[in-house]
């Protein structure tokens, strides 16, 4: 009988680390400068004074303690507050390709496959480095893989949606083995001058090998996939090539990542909990039979609330729902599989849920079993 497996995974993340103390110090210095420069307008009521951040605020709101980033120095520079990166250029590899190739090699090693075994590359991300040529094709070329490759975007569900596409291509007979790559260089999309989001994101990448009948040590059988989308503007980015032609003025800070965090929390938590519960019921699996919940690393409070709703109790071992967000921050679509890579020491027959959710809204849940 044909089975389709997650045969191996690999991760990449930059060396630079920003602590909460460091990011609060930078942000608060920016706030002080802004308020001083605009004190007359603030006094007259034309401008609202900015409010300080704090370590306590960040950890209560998100659970994040540190984040790995591509450029610590310039993110913390009060006069810049964003990474300093070069334009995409044909003379060098894309930053997403560099991250993706590193993670892909680790995933292929774990899966015991070579580039000659790979039939396709699917890259899923929340943030495309460019429109074309596809970064997936760049990675395909650098690794010496034949077949086809393409990029796709479904916000923070891009990783699980890409795995779903890989599964479908294999099930249809189009391919036997597919490399899925999910680079999330997110910090360039962050306005570090906004209190509600300046602490959220880190940078990282995860890759996976999806194949028929794997025999690798880390093999997980894909038992079921469930997907949904529901339109919402509560998480949105309008950054695109259309911006250069727009007649209504918006700054780049207006166009990059924006969210209504409280609405997302209130709407997405019950949505995802119900979604996972329905998937388990469909597969005749009780919540207590799930050994791990590898969820999108959006927010520690969201993860704990979703799991508590699924299992019917808020009294559970912290190992049930790992929180790499504490160290790495929100890694956009890479977070759920990042969690899986770092915490998949299950015994044969034990089951887990890999679930991503985010902008769209979009949700994809993959039920797996350790082989």
Tens-place pLDDT, residues 135-152: 999 999 999 999 999 999
Interval 354-362 mean pLDDT: 94
In 3D space, the residue among 191, 197, 254 whose CA is nearest the CA of residue 58 turns out to be 197
- Is residue 156 annotated as part of the catalytic site, yes or no? yes
CATH T-level fold of 221-370: Peroxisomal Thiolase; Chain A, domain 1 (3.40.47)
CA angle 122, 123, 128 (to 5 degrees): 150
- What tens digit of pLDDT does each residue of 165-216 get? 999 999 999 999 999 999 999 999 999 999 999 999 999 999 999 999 998 8
The token duo for 194 is 């906004």
Q: Computed over its alpha carbons, how large is the radius of gyration of the chain?
A: 21
Give CA separation, 212 vs 11, 99, 220, in Å.
Answer: 22, 26, 11
Cα of first residue to Cα of last residue in the chain, in angstroms, is 14
pLDDT band at 1 (very low <50, low <70, confident <90, very high): low
Q: What are phi and psi of 326, to 5 degrees?
A: -60, -35
Q: What is the mean pLDDT of the chain?
A: 94
∠ CA 182-188-189, nearest 5°, is 80
pLDDT of residue 168: 97
Please give the distance of CA 245 from its chain centroid, rounded to a whole number: 30
pLDDT at residue 257, as a whole number: 81
**Structure confidence at residue 174 (pLDDT):** 97
DSSP three-state, residue 55:
helix
pLDDT digits (tens, 9 = 90+) for 294-339: 999 999 999 999 999 999 998 899 899 999 999 999 999 999 999 9
Task: Write the Ramachandran bin of 120: left for phi over 0, alpha for psi from -120 to 50, otherwise beta.
Answer: beta
- List the catalytic residue out of 156, 205, 355, 364: 156
Summarize pLDDT for 255-280 with one digit per residue, the tens: 778 888 788 989 999 999 999 999 99
**Contact of 328 with 297, CB cutoff 8 Å:** yes
């Amino acid at each position: 009988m044909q089975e389709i497996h997650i045969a191996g995974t690999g991760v990449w993340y930059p060396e630079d680390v920003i602590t909460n103390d460091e990011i609060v110090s930078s942000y608060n210095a920016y706030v002080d400068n802004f308020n001083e420069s605009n004190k007359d307008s603030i006094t007259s009521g034309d401008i609202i004074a900015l409010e300080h951040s704090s370590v306590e605020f960040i950890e209560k709101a998100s659970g994040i303690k540190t984040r790995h980033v591509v450029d610590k120095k310039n993110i913390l520079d009060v006069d810049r507050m964003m990474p300093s990166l070069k334009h995409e250029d044909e003379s060098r590899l894309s930053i997403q390709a560099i991250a993706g190739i590193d993670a892909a090699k680790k995933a292929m090693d774990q899966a015991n496959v070579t580039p000659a075994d790979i039939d396709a590359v699917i890259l899923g991300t929340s943030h495309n480095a460019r429109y074309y040529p596809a970064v997936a094709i760049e990675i395909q070329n650098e690794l010496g893989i034949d077949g086809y490759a393409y990029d796709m975007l479904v916000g923070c569900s891009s990783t699980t949606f890409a795995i779903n596409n890989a599964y479908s291509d294999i099930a249809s007979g189009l391919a036997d083995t597919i490399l899925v790559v999910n680079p999330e260089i997110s910090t360039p999309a962050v306005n570090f001058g906004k209190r509600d989001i300046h602490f959220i994101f880190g940078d990282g990448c995860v890759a996976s090998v999806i194949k028929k009948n794997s025999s690798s040590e880390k093999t997980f059988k894909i038992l079921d996939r469930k997907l949904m989308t529901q339109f919402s503007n509560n998480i949105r980015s309008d950054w695109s090539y259309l911006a250069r032609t727009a007649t209504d003025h918006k700054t780049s800070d207006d166009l990059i990542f924006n969210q209504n965090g409280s609405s997302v929390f209130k709407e997405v938590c019950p949505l995802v909990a119900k979604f996972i519960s329905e998937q388990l019921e469909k597969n005749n699996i009780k919540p207590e039979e799930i050994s791990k919940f590898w969820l999108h690393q959006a927010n520690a409070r969201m993860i704990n609330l979703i799991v508590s709703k699924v299992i019917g109790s808020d009294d559970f071992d912290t190992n049930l729902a790992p929180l790499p967000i504490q160290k790495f921050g929100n890694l956009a679509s890479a977070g759920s599989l990042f969690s899986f890579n770092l915490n998949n020491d299950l015994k044969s027959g034990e089951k887990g849920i890999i679930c991503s959710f985010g902008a769209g809204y979009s949700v994809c849940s993959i039920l797996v079993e350790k082989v």
